[in-house]
Amino acid sequence: MKKILVTGANGQLGSELKELSSHYSQLEWVFADRSLLDLSDLESISNVLDQIQPQIILNCAGYTAVDKAELETELADILNHQAVAVIAQWTATHDCRLVHISTDYVFDGSSSTPLIEEAVTGPINAYGQTKLAGERACMHENPNAIIIRTSWVYSQFGANFVKTMCQLLQERDRLNVVNDQIGSPTYAADLAETILKIITHSHWQAGIYHYSNEGEISWYEFALAIQEIGGFDCQIIGIPSADYPTPARRPKYSLLDKSKIATTFGVVVPGYRESLERCMAVLNREP
């Protein structure tokens, strides 16, 4: 029985993997939060991995507070880059497979066509810079790793755009949402299923892959879809990013091309609307 270690167990993706794990009883699961595996303590990582002895690591942990990363760049670099290097090095020397989660923020947002895996990177904020450094360290230490870049992640778990919008659309009469950042959201449950498909696939194909749901929308259009599905009565106004300044700059365009992951592993990528409806149905069932 293969032992799977999931880091970032309490995050959106880690939580969705935990939900699905019961359907994969042929695998032995270890879900590690910060109390079991503290990635900010670089010296301890290898020792903990030695104790667990996983055959596959799904590295879903990381520093994800994009705006805060502008101030806490050192901590973001430890979690998103240096810890990844240590994990990748351990997996390379222990015949352990590694799936590492990265982000669309490794790109500068200047493209106007869906981004393929080989597209030129150029992060425009500290978060993206630390994640790109993590990707490079991962592939340097373990060329047999799989990296999955994803975007605009939401879920029934944790804090995210969908849950925030559902709350604000009930509380307010009008809401401003940025309309000039283009991409596609990712339902973490879909990404979790994709990861499980990859690690149980007959063929392991190392490299970088892109995954999000299908569709090309702005945050404003995403908010409109949430409003329509939820039946909320609130006026949503599209505004330019310039009218909503944030400490960290966001890429204007970060739509990911998913054809490589679909072709390599036979992954079917759902449309964003279908996945959003499924997530909101789950949220509505919660007490």
Is the Cα dihedral 275, 277, 282, 287 positive or negative?
Answer: positive
**Which of 63, 105, 127, 209 is labelled catalytic?**
127
253 catalytic? Reply is no
Inter-CA distances, 282 with 56, 167, 275, 276, Å? 29, 15, 11, 10
For residue 27, which of 56, 60, 59 has the smallest C-alpha distance? 56
Q: Based on the number of CB atoms within 10 Å of its own CB, is 132 exposed (0-12), middle (13-18) or buried (19 or more)? A: buried
Q: Are strands 97-103 and 207-210 parallel, antiparallel or unpaired?
A: unpaired
Strand-pairing partners, residue 97, are 56
Can you tell me the distance from the alpha carbon of 16 to that of 156, in angstroms, rounded to the nearest whole number?
8
**Which residues are known catalytic residues?**
127
